[in-house]
């Protein structure tokens, strides 16, 4: 499965844009394996979170994203970036199957288990089970990440930290709670 050409072309531009405009501090990038399957899963603070993740690794990331992005003029761009559309109004087995197919080909999946941008006062919203399910089904490690700060142009204060990879066991409820707890505790600290 060849990586999307468009992704390979725009990734350096995205990375340059993010580094110049938002000046993020990136910690723990060595926790992202240089090869092999992996799920990147963490909190969701802003629409630019995907760009921040893209700029953190040279490995192409296939993001799960709401299917409404795949309409109109945006559809071609998001398809060319390798986005996996998700129908958030119900459980979407096709999205999960697509993500698993990428993982079985040793690719990187990016997912925000909260399912949407957290606009609540809670540290994290409840995590949906997709990340732990695809990890368990494919024996892929999950690299949790946390995003702190705000996207303020030309100001410091934005950071992303990649935590130690997790192996996911069979009890998905326990594992999902563990993933959320790891992300939440790190955000509190």
CATH at residue 122: 3.40.1130.10
CA distance 142 to 102: 14
Alpha-carbon distances of 21 from 15, 26, 156, 176, 181, rounded to whole Å: 10, 14, 10, 34, 31
pLDDT of residue 1: 54
| Residue 2: per-residue pLDDT | 61
Based on the structure, what is the number of domains in the chain?
A: 1
**Hey, how many other C-beta atoms are within 10 angstroms of the C-beta on 58?**
12
pLDDT, residue 91, reads: 80
Per-residue burial over 141-179, b if 16 or more Cβ lie within 10 Å, else e, is bbbbbbbbbebeeeeeebebbbbeebebeeebeebbebb
Residue numbers of the domain that contains 66 = 5-188
pTM: 0.94
Residue range 64-120, pLDDT digits in tens: 998 888 888 888 888 888 899 998 877 888 999 999 999 999 999 999 999 999 999
Dihedral class, residue 60 (left if φ above 0, else alpha if ψ from -120 to 50, else beta): beta
What is the average pLDDT across 26-48? 97
Q: Find, among 108, 91, 90, the residue nearest to 99 by Cα.
A: 108
């Amino acid at each position: 499965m060849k990586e999307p050409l468009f992704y390979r072309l725009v990734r350096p531009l995205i990375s340059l844009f993010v580094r110049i405009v938002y000046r993020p501090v990136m910690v723990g990038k060595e926790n992202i394996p240089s090869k092999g399957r992996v799920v990147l899963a963490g909190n969701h603070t802003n629409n630019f979170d995907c760009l921040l993740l893209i700029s953190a690794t040279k490995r192409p990331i296939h993001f799960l994203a709401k299917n409404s992005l795949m309409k109109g003029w945006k559809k071609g761009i998001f398809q060319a970036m390798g986005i996996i559309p998700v129908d958030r109004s119900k459980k979407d087995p096709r999205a999960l199957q697509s993500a698993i197919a990428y993982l079985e080909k040793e690719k990187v999946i990016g997912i925000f288990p909260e399912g949407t941008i957290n606009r609540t006062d809670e540290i994290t919203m409840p995590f949906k089970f997709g990340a732990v399910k695809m990890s368990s089904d494919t024996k892929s490690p999950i690299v949790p990440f946390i995003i702190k700060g705000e996207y303020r142009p030309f100001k410091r204060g934005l950071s992303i930290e990649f935590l130690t990879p997790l192996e996911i066991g069979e009890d998905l409820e326990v594992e999902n709670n563990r993933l959320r707890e790891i992300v939440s505790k790190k955000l509190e600290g």
